[in-house]
Amino acid sequence: MRHISQITQNVGAVRESAAGGFLSDGRPLGRSGGSGYGYYNRPTLDQLDTTHPGVRRAVDAVYLWRDRYNAACEPVNDEPPRAPSLVLSGPNGVGKSHIARAIQWSRVSCPLGDDGEPMLSLARPAGCWFDAADLMLKLAPIQTEWRTVEYASVGKLIGAAPFCVVDDLGGEGTIPFIAASEQQFERQARWFRFIDFCYDRHVSVIVTTNLDVRNGEPAEWVGRRAWDRLNEMAPVGQMVGMWDVPSWRVKVGGR
């Protein structure tokens, strides 16, 4: 497991700023060459208005996740600790996906040069990013050329990524080619396969969702077995509700 060092430093110099930080402030994020985030205009946490208590909770949870993640890199009695996970719950437009994207664009995404410093020009996002709806499709069973049915390999989807992000849990919609009466069973079965794989192999999972963790909505959506594992993976302080945070999209619209 790779260390995530200084990913939340808030510093002014360009090189130092590129070495750490995270998220967005309430404005649409810039693009680099029309092909994705550039390292210097990526979402960063230091752009957040942390004066709001709900935002402050989320930022503190990221710091806590980082510390626990780095601690999990050090085996204890030859048994590696379980990599922590993070769940961000809240309404639309409060910055959940931006926080997750900011973690993905941390310093860990930079290869090191001969001097041991990050090669910022070669930065790439770390971890795997999955939209929940797309992930459901990727986990669908397939028919082989021998007319047998096989399920997609979760291991091939994740590979050797240090962590994975699942964005918009609860927004999967209807799974194609599945009868209406079987939708819930199939959805929960696919989620269990994915989360159970991450649970068994100590893969950290970062989840964003509009489902309210306070009243058990995610448990009903992904199934009790999967949610029980995710609860163990995300210890105290790693399930954060942002329900009191106002939408920045409303502010941008001038309302």
What is the band of 40 on the pLDDT scale with cuts at 50, 70, 90?
Answer: low
CATH code of the region 14-252: 3.40.50.300
Rounded Cα–Cα distance for residues 10 and 7 (Å): 9
**How is the chain split into domains, by residue range?**
14-252
Rounded Cα–Cα distance for residues 72 and 74 (Å): 5
Q: Fill in the amino acid letter for 223.
A: G
pTM as predicted: 0.77
Contacts of 35 by beta carbon, 8 Å cutoff, 6+ apart: none
pLDDT tens for 83-96 read 789 999 999 989 89
Rounded Cα–Cα distance for residues 53 and 47 (Å): 15
pLDDT tens for 132-169 read 999 999 998 877 777 777 777 898 889 888 889 999 99
Q: How many Cβ atoms from other residues are within 10 Å of residue 80's Cβ?
A: 13
Q: In terms of Cα–Cα distance, which of 18, 19, 22 is closest to 5?
A: 19
Rounded Cα–Cα distance for residues 81 and 164 (Å): 17
